[in-house]
Amino acid sequence: VFPPAAGVVLTEETSRAYDVGIEYDGAAGLHLGLTYFAQKIEDAIEFDLVFFSGYVQSAGVSTSKGIEVDAPAALGERWELLGNWTYNDAEDAVGQQRVRRPKNLGNLGVQYRTPSERLALLASYRLSRDAIDTTFVSTAPLPDYEVLDLSVSFDASDLLQVYGRVQNATDEAYQEVIGYNTAGRAIYGGVRLRF
């Protein structure tokens, strides 16, 4: 281990958090949920992202507060619209935006089930906005991105389900950490047995 983390004695970090939410169920399957959250972390233990020397203690108080909105809605008997959005105002102990904590995260999905409910299709579109990361000399914005995921499942019987999914279906090139690309399009499939 190299400086500045060499020989550092770490004490436990402490945190306090709460969230408050309300929900509304309306006609035709509409559901709305709204949650406010807040968290304070004192003396956070973090990995040294500048020199990669190990874990270091960040003296002071880091905060995270924001709102989450959840709004699934039935679109007829077979279709459902799924949506959620999070706004997160996260600051470190010196009042700067915390790295790798997007201010805005959202998901929008559409799900379809056949009348027998044996076949289910889901398309999910997720987006990230206003995140930053750290470099050797300063912080830098991470590019915003959107990713489309697709999935299908079929209940061949009460005991057997066949499923498949395509992650990052449009082969979006994006980064959640500076210098590290994420996976391109990936296709998975399999079977599940119920006993």
- Tens of pLDDT along the chain (195 residues) come to 455 556 677 888 899 999 999 999 887 777 899 999 999 999 888 776 666 667 777 778 999 999 999 999 888 889 999 999 999 999 988 888 988 899 999 999 999 999 998 999 999 999 999 999 987 677 899 999 999 999 999 999 989 999 999 999 999 999 898 888 898 999 999 999 988
Q: How far is the CA of 15 from the CAs of 12, 55, 90, in angstroms? A: 10, 18, 14
pTM, whole model, 2 decimals?
A: 0.80
Q: What are phi and psi of 146, to 5 degrees?
A: -135, 140
pLDDT for 45 equals: 80
pLDDT for 50 equals: 64
Q: How far apart are CA 107 and CA 187, in angstroms?
A: 20
Q: Which residues contact 83 (CB under 8 A, 6 or more apart)?
A: 70, 71, 72, 73, 106, 107, 108, 109
- CA–chain centroid gap for 106, Å, is 8
